[in-house]
């Protein structure tokens, strides 16, 4: 009965992408650990860019400093 929490920056993740994440993680846990999908929860949290920091900076400032590289 796994619980998986996925945190990503809020940048237009679509419903279809979310469904693929849910399906992919659930399948992975079934294949690797034999977990029953019916008791596998996946929760996706989308975090505003200004609320996510890396390198001591909010994400946007961090990306700008490194020159725009998709992360």
Three-class SS of residue 67? coil
Write the binding mask 28 to 67 for its own copies: x where contact by CB under 8 A, - elsewhere: xx--xxxxxxxxxxxxxxxx--xxxxxxxxxx-x------
Nearer to its own copies, 59 or 67 (CB): 59
Within a 10 A sphere around the Cβ of 40, how many other Cβ atoms?
A: 19
Q: Could you tell me which of 42, 49, 12, 7 has the C-alpha nearest to residue 27?
A: 42
Please list the residues that pair with 57 across neighbouring strands. 54
- Shortest Å, Cβ 19 to its own copies: 5
Catalytic residues: 2
Distance of closest approach, residue 42 Cβ to its own copies, in angstroms: 4
Q: Please report, as ranges, the residues that interact with its own copies according to CB under 8 A.
A: 1-9, 13, 15, 17-29, 32-47, 50-59, 61, 69-71
């Amino acid at each position: 009965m796994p619980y998986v929490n996925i945190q990503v920056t809020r940048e237009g993740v679509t419903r279809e992408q979310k469904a693929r994440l849910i399906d992919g993680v659930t399948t992975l846990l079934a294949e690797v650990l034999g977990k029953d999908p019916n008791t596998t929860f996946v929760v996706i949290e989308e975090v505003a860019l200004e609320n996510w920091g890396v390198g001591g900076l909010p994400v946007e400032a961090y990306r700008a400093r490194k020159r725009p590289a998709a992360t």
